[in-house]
Amino acid sequence: MPKLHEIRADHDRDTIVVYQAYSTAIAEPALRAQRFVPPFSFSRMTWIKPSFLWLMHRSNWGHKPGQERILAVRIRRAAWDKALSLGVLTSPEPGAFRSPEDWARAFADARVHVQWDPERTLRGAALPHYSIQVGISRHLIRELAEEWITAIEDYTPLTRKLYQQLQTGHADKASKLLPTERVYPMDPVVGRRLLMEA
């Protein structure tokens, strides 16, 4: 049984996969360059998510305008760990901060925002445990684009195949094609600050 707050991801010894949904205008140049390039915006926060099904819920399987292309972005684990170490929760959760004022100060200065949202099933239903979203601020976006990424893969064809299988009543086949996600090991100090249980 998954813990209430834990990171589950496709990862290996050196890298972790996070997912993002973009328009074709942003996705195609990124796939060609294997990093984010204009018209990708370097002046606004970008959110990276290690849960494929959470992004499917968020993008409606790539059917929302501007989210038609699903990218699997493989980044260095050292970069992911750095982002988490800089992360501040998007709300003053009890136990994570001494007071709402402490949270407000930390949040105002944060280069990385962390948010927990209900994990999703293949059909989009909310589960009783959470999935992490990590917001990379404009102060770190160029570092993400130019140093963190090791590969970008187009998961749009997979997304369309999975959606078609769901629509035709073949959820069992779709579930076998989902990216494999397993628990990501966390530094316990950082984990406690982000509400993860030991």
Average pLDDT over residues 94-113: 83
How high is the pLDDT of residue 185?
95
Write the CA distances from 106 to 63, 90, 190, integer angstroms: 36, 10, 15
The DSSP H or E segment spanning 62 is none
DSSP code, position 94: B
d(CA 198, CA 4): 11
pLDDT at 158 > cutoff 90 = yes
Quote the pLDDT of residue 30.
98
Determine how many CB atoms are found less than 10 A away from the CB of residue 119.
Answer: 21
Report the residue count for the chain. 198
pLDDT of residue 29: 98
Distances (CA, A) of 136 to 1, 46, 75, 189: 30, 5, 13, 20
Which is more confidently placed, 2 or 163?
163
> Of 8, 41, 11, which Cα lies nearest the Cα of 26?
41
Q: How far is CA 79 from CA 55, 65, 133, 150, 172, in A?
A: 21, 30, 15, 11, 35
pLDDT digits (tens, 9 = 90+) for 105-154: 888 889 999 999 999 999 999 999 999 999 999 999 999 999 999 999 99
pLDDT tens track for 172-189: 999 999 999 999 999 999
